Amino acid sequence: MNSHAKCVRIAVTFDNRPGRTWTMEDVISSPTTVTNFGGNLTFQPKYHYVPRDEAEVLAILNRHAAGKIRVVGARHAWSEAIVTDDALVDMFHFQHVHTERTADGEIWATIGGGCTLHRALDELARQANATLPALGLITEQTIAGAISTATHGSGRHSIAHYMAEIRVAAYDPQTGQARIFVWNEGPQLRAARCALGCMGIILSMKFRCLPQYSIEESIRRHDTIDEVLAQEADHPLQQFYLAPHVWKYYAQERKALPPEQSRRSWYAWIYRVYWFLMVDISMHVLVKLFAAWLRSRWLVHLQYRRLLPLLMWKPRKLVDRSDRILVMEHELFRHLEIEIFVPARLVRPAAHFVQQVLTVFDGADAIDDAQADELERRGLLGRLMSMRGSFTLHYPITFRRVLPDDTLISMTADASESYYAISFITYVEPRDAFFQLAKFLAESMGPLFAARLHWGKHFPLDHAQIKDAYPNLPEFREICRQTDPRGVFCNEYVKRVLGF
């Protein structure tokens, strides 16, 4: 990682008796900057720490008890959650994965906060032939980052929902000194399951794992979202894509299989190679070529109207291991994303609204009368039409169903129904036109569809605009203040969106 800063190593000596002593040594690194994966964040922390153990983490907290501390993981978030001009902590050395099997056969795993999902999955498979109960699309992110922003897959809760215990370094409310907290029940656990780094530095987490299992997947094209949703009962893990400019759906219809039906398809390895070369690489190269380099609206339209059907291999009943099917190499090309969650009961009108908005941004001069009347009533129609022709979406819109979480502020916290996460991605720079689109979608879909935004992705709203969607925010802030009364873990981003 690059960092324009003092890179601080802490040399710690202590014994088991009271009054242990601390020695700190500053080591100056070459001056550079910290940049996230998306390239939309660049900042210069004054200090950059890479602690080797929990004692060093506590020393860092005590040293900066009157300052500001943020934690950096794999830098795969697009929001400003990691930004700090004071102390930045990288938990790289906290990569341990320990598994144990109980007398009744349950598999439990304790995973270090700096461990990536990729490493965690490999170790769980190696140690216990097990896997996590939910996966995100990108496995390069750290497990602590995934927990902090409620990273999710499709058809299950977020990863954070399944966390049964967490160890966190924060501040004792009585003494003000750094100490370790362990939460495995109650409101503290619900708050810590998605806390955006506001409750302290995550040291480790504990999960009850699933025995390794297989997924059956079919890929089919559908004309309408109703056709896609009709498959959900039989394929509860499915995710689907709306192809722009043809406005057809491609569904990855997925379901978990019992062990007796889990034999891997003989051609699964061929399909993995195909997917990597044709989807992870070739499709993205075409997106970059047509949209980012040539900047041709006509070629973007051609890609989805003519080329995409030729590139798509649509297997029927492909069977492979879950941690192979449920992830993508989505990190190979730099991009930026906003993800908007809508309640399941509203996903149909929300999908129609998205299509209407995108056609206007692409150059259409009119939308459906009913949609136009609703936008006019809310004072949004003129604003939409003023941006006509300013941006052509060049990447499929992803829909993933996320079950309600037992958390305080995750995107599906305390919900009475599932939500659909709708992702919009750009590979074009500069991104000003995409930011206009994202802001319009965020500000309009909130009141129209009770939408919530993913905390770790582009987030153009502030606390005043989102507070009604998160009734537990006051309780969450109060819990955070119990272990961070001085606001050491609060940067400008969490103040803006969470209302600290």
Q: What's the number of domains the chain is made of?
A: 2
339 pLDDT higher than 80: yes
CB 248 within 8 A of CB 221: yes
Does residue 370 share a domain with residue 235? Answer: yes
CATH number at residue 333: 3.40.462.10
Does residue 258 share a domain with residue 194? Answer: no
Q: Choose among 54, 50, 70, 59: nearest CA to 22.
A: 59
CB 209 within 8 A of CB 131: yes
DSSP string covering 184-236, please?
-SHHHHHHHTT-TTTT-EEEEEEEEEEEP-EEEEEEEEESSHHHHHTTTTT-T
Greatest extent of the chain over all pairs of C-alpha atoms, in Å: 76
Does residue 165 share a domain with residue 282? Answer: no
Question: pLDDT tier at 311 (50, 70, 90 boundaries)?
Answer: confident
Question: pLDDT tier at 6 (50, 70, 90 boundaries)?
Answer: low
User: What is the structure's pLDDT at 461?
Assistant: 98
User: What is the structure's pLDDT at 17?
Assistant: 34
User: What is the structure's pLDDT at 436?
Assistant: 99
Reported as a single tens digit per residue, the pLDDT across 217-255 is 999 999 999 999 999 999 999 999 999 999 999 999 999
Question: pLDDT tier at 309 (50, 70, 90 boundaries)?
Answer: confident
Rounded to whole angstroms, the Cα distance separating 306 from 301 reads 8
Does residue 153 share a domain with residue 287? Answer: no
Does residue 132 share a domain with residue 265? Answer: no
Does residue 339 share a domain with residue 204? Answer: no
Task: State percent of the chain over pLDDT 90.
Answer: 87
Does residue 274 share a domain with residue 168? Answer: no
CB 341 within 8 A of CB 421: yes
Name the 3-class secondary structure at 249: strand
**Domain limits for position 178:** 1-213+463-500
Does residue 483 share a domain with residue 402? Answer: no
Average pLDDT over residues 119-124: 98
Q: What would the 3-class secondary structure string for 344-385 be? A: HHHHHHHHHHHHHHHHHHCCCCCCCHHHHHHHHHCCCHHHHH
| Cis peptide bond N-terminal to 430, omega within 30 | yes
Q: What are the φ/ψ torsions at residue 105 (nearest 5 degrees)?
A: 95, 0
Residue 66's CB is within 10 A of a number of other CB atoms, namely 9
213 pLDDT higher than 60: yes
- Tokens representing residue 60 in the block: 């860092």
- Tokens representing residue 364 in the block: 């259409």
CB 146 within 8 A of CB 160: yes
Does residue 375 share a domain with residue 234? Answer: yes
Rounded to whole angstroms, the Cα distance separating 194 from 324 reads 26
Does residue 230 share a domain with residue 169? Answer: no
Provide the angle, in degrees to the nearest 10, between the axes of the packed helices 347-361 and 369-377: 90
CATH number at residue 104: 3.30.465.10
Tally of CA atoms within 13 A in the half-sphere of 79 that contains its CB:
24
Q: Choose among 150, 40, 41: nearest CA to 427.
A: 40
Does residue 239 share a domain with residue 132? Answer: no
User: What is the structure's pLDDT at 23?
Assistant: 44
Does residue 408 share a domain with residue 492? Answer: no
Q: What would the 3-class secondary structure string for 89-139 be? A: EECCCCCCEEEEECCCCCEEEEEECCCEHHHHHHHHHHHHCEECCCCCCCC
Which stretch, 134-138, 194-198, 366-370, has highest mean pLDDT?
194-198
User: What is the structure's pLDDT at 166?
Assistant: 99
CB 405 within 8 A of CB 246: no
pTM more than 0.75: yes
Q: Which of 2-11, 365-374, 449-458, 467-476 has the lowest average pLDDT?
A: 2-11
